[in-house]
Chains A and B, each alone.
Chain A
Amino acid sequence: MKIVVCVKQTPDSEAKLTAQDGQPSWGDAPLVINPFDEYAVEGALQQKEAIDASVTALCIGPDSARDALKHALAMGADEAILVSDPALDELDSAGAARVLAAAIQKIGDADLIFFGRQTIDNGTGLVPAQVARVLGWPLLSLVGQMTIEGGEIKVERTIEEGKQTARAKTPAVLSIMQGVGEPRYPSFMGIRKAGKATIPVWTLADLGIDAPALVVRRAKLLNPPVRDTKCEIISGESPAEIAEALADKILAEKVL
């Protein structure tokens, strides 16, 4: 059983972002593995322990994105591959999906592809379903718990309206949710191993594909309008009196 986990590098979720000359800037905040992708790595490592699966982490990005892959290795992934090519500097989600699908085919014999639910940078959440469609494999999205047996995967999905149990034959593409459990911290041994690991870099030529056509373009990046508010602190003699005054203020706003 071979699991490929697709990860991305993003600015840390605590980072304060600003748009500067049309580019995002996060100051000296660190770049990290996309927080949702840590759940995908965790889910894969649970299967590595349960059924002796091998786990390959896969990432598209510049050379610095190695650090996201090293995090996956330090958590316990067996190997990591970086797809990096100057022609991929501008990439929309469908393009990323086509490149990932080509890399998955080059890796070969993958049974399951794991994604986080979405990234916290562009946050389209489209790529897992796009990869499934390119490969022609079933999509099982928003998965918490799963069992794999005899060429079939059975999952519990947390959808908006409740919990759904579904199954499909492998190979399949999954997006993994919080229900899988908290991602483990890299161990000391894991960090040492990751530090020494060689991460192969594949270019588009290695994948045997051209750069995908860019269909969705960013025309402009903006800072959101400043919320021009002055907070009016409501005070009074008793909670009841404060609540009375606050309720009147809210009713006067005509938002109910």
Chain B
Amino acid sequence: MNTWVYIDHFNGQPAPASWEALGLAKTFGAATALVFGQNVEALAKTALEYGADTVLMADDPALSVFSPEAFTSTLAALVSDSPPDLILFPTTSLTRELTAMLSIDLATGVLVDVTSIELTDGQMVATRPVYEGKLLEKTTCSATPQLITLRARAFPKPTPETGRGGEIKPVAAVADGAVTVEKFVSGQSGVSLTDAGVVVAGGRGVSSDPAEGFRLVGELASVLGGAVGASRAAVDEDYIPYANQVGQTGKVVSPDLYIAAGISGAIQHMSGMRSSKVIVAINKDPEAPIFQDSQYGVVGDLFTMVPALTDAFKKKLGK
């Protein structure tokens, strides 16, 4: 089977889950990577290193800024030339729009935010969380090409092979869309929450001094090379921007390590992080529900425990 994999990126910075999608495609057979944008040849080469056998590259000023309409029309034209059975995407806000529009153009369906795939009698059966992770569904798409977006960190990331070659085939861009982008102001940089291997999150427990609380949470995250998360309570109180919210109505994360500081563990929060490998809770209240889902717990004040933990890791990790 020839699977196409869309390499999602922002200004040439790839979404890491694109490589996870490429790794999955290789388990089905040959993989063709799709790289769209302007000045994206370096990204096309990286796709070869991550295992793509061929890259279809649309390198064109018309694609310099992501436009769901232009990217859809470009991809739809390629599909009508030689339709694949399956196109994989990393789940990002951009691919939600791209796959949505493609599903209309190609009269097919999208399986969104998939965490595992099995092949049963030639049919892909995908598992995805629904009701914000409170339940799982197994779902199928009866039309082709099947469009599937994969949740970040749900599939293994392949190891790149430096200098690995392959064919980069230029393809035509199709200009489309009527939205003009006037200005872009870059937000906070750092590790993206959904791709992070470590997340340190703060909640209502910071309320006596929110700025200091999140400074301490941020320090621990930075020592561990992780990202900062927050509970809805902390976001509602304006302690930290919405972009950091984990759980229902926020982001779903599944890092290897999740440290929850001053978070009680409401069901809406837990549904957004319960697939983390190891959960550690720091909370003053020994009855806090978060402890039920945690491997390790400390009953104590985050304002003393978080900096103590930062110091301990600095020493042990030699930082």
List residues of chain A with CB under 8 Å of any chain B CB. 11, 13-14, 16-19, 24, 35-36, 92-94, 97, 120-130, 132-134, 138-142, 154, 158-169, 177-179, 214-224, 227, 229-235, 239-240, 242-244, 246-251, 253, 255-256
Contacts and interface: CB of A to CB of B under 8 A. Distances in A.
Contact of A121 (B105, B131, B142, B300): B131
Contacts of A161: 10-11, 184, 186-187
Nearest to B256: A255
Contacts of A179: 242
Nearest to B268: A13
Interface string B290-307: 011111111110001100
Contacts of A35: 249
Nearest to B189: A161
A250 B278 contact: yes
Given A120-B249, A161-B186, A232-B295, A247 B312 contact: yes
Nearest to A134: B104
Given A124-B110, A255-B257, A255-B278, A231 B291 contact: yes
Given A124-B112, A125-B96, A163-B185, A216 B296 contact: no
Given A93-B110, A126-B110, A231 B185 contact: no
Given A133-B100, A240-B311, A166 B110 contact: no
B172 interface: no
18 contacts: A16-B267, A17-B135, A18-B135, A19-B135, A93-B100, A120-B248, A121-B131, A138-B179, A158-B242, A160-B92, A163-B184, A167-B180, A167-B182, A168-B179, A227-B274, A243-B308, A243-B312, A256-B257
B292 to A, nearest CB: 7
B80 interface: no
B104 A97 contact: yes
A129 B136 CA distance: 24
B156 interface: no
Given A215-B109, A233-B297, A247-B312, A158 B181 contact: no
Contacts of B143: 215
B183 A133 contact: no
A129 B132 contact: no
B132 A166 contact: no
Contacts of B292: 229, 231
A103 to B, nearest CB: 16
Given A123-B132, A246-B280, A165 B305 contact: no
Interface string B145-188: 00000000000000000000000000000000111111111110
Contacts of B268: 13-14
Contacts of A178: 242
B312 A132 contact: no
B138 interface: yes
Contact of A246 (B181, B267, B286, B312): B312
Given A140-B179, A247-B309, A222 B103 contact: no
Contacts of B280: 246, 250
A134 to B, nearest CB: 6
B187 A162 contact: yes
B130 interface: yes
A141 B291 CA distance: 37
A161 to B, nearest CB: 5
Given A120-B131, A219-B138, 15 more contacts: A35-B249, A36-B249, A94-B104, A124-B113, A133-B104, A141-B68, A167-B179, A177-B242, A215-B143, A216-B110, A231-B291, A234-B297, A243-B312, A246-B296, A249-B296
A166 B179 contact: yes
Contacts of A229: 279, 292-295
Contacts of B107: 215
Contacts of B138: 218-222
Most buried by B among A164, A231, A251: A231
Given A133-B72, A139-B68, A221 B135 contact: yes
A168 B67 CA distance: 12
